[in-house]
Amino acid sequence: MTTPQIPLRLVRWPSPGLDDFLPTDAPAVAQLRGWLQHPDSHVLLRGPAGCGKTHLLEAVLRSLGGSGPQPAYLPLAALGTAAAGMVGLQPAVAVVAVDDLDEVRVDETLQHALFALHNRVVDAGGWMLYACRGRPSDWTEVLPDLRSRLGQALQIRIQPLDDGLRREWFRRRAAALGLSLDDTAVEYLLRRVGRDLPGLQRLLERIDRDSLAQKRRLTVPFLRDLLAADDGSAA
């Protein structure tokens, strides 16, 4: 019996940029480029899960990075129960990006903390960037004053990728890992897995790790076994 190789490759995804967002001519990219040149309002990115909102937030923050005070990034879902405390402690830097804004709907303490942070940033002459799935104007359970502040932001709608762009995104990410997936393998995977981009990224990391460990080529039989193992573990 062959002992699986322990994979040691460390994943290093390229830093997100506006230039590599798909589609490259997306109206959202043009709006964000204009905002970077002349920021004159807060910004709220809105769209379904996995459409690239986090990519755009990080791309904007990367564009702003320099020798001055660094912008801040607050991923509310990842912070979990610590979110309200972290938001409350966040200094009023020039730009604060808040990801997964939908989390405020179930946490009144977080609502108060975010409202206070928004006001601190405004008083210091800075800007807030937000990303969410839903429409904040419909969030009747959220503090009216916070809803009002969110309603003043420039609203940018992010559309999910169509099948062709999703396929292109998948190929680019595979190439970034050095994975050689032919068209048959790509089509096989995309017909059988979810559409959200974070899920597809995790799948590529799994393919990279398991192909190294098992010393197997990236063929359809290998991919079939990998997906079957996932189905078995979920049963």
Domain count, the chain: 2
pTM here is: 0.77
What tokens does 189 get? Answer: 């995977």
What SS3 class is residue 26? Answer: coil
Claim to verify: residue 86 and residue 125 sit in the same structural domain: yes
Report how far residue 117's alpha carbon sits from residue 145's, in angstroms, rounded to the nearest whole number: 13
Domain with residue 129: its CATH number is 3.40.50.300
Claim to verify: residue 103 and residue 89 sit in the same structural domain: yes
The residue from 105, 136, 157 where one domain ends is 157
For the stretch 152-183, pLDDT in tens is: 999 999 988 888 888 888 888 888 788 888 88
Q: In a 10 Å sphere around its CB, with 0-12 CB exposed, 13-18 middle and 19+ buried, how is residue 201 labelled?
A: middle
For the stretch 69-105, pLDDT in tens is: 689 999 999 999 999 999 999 999 999 999 999 999 9
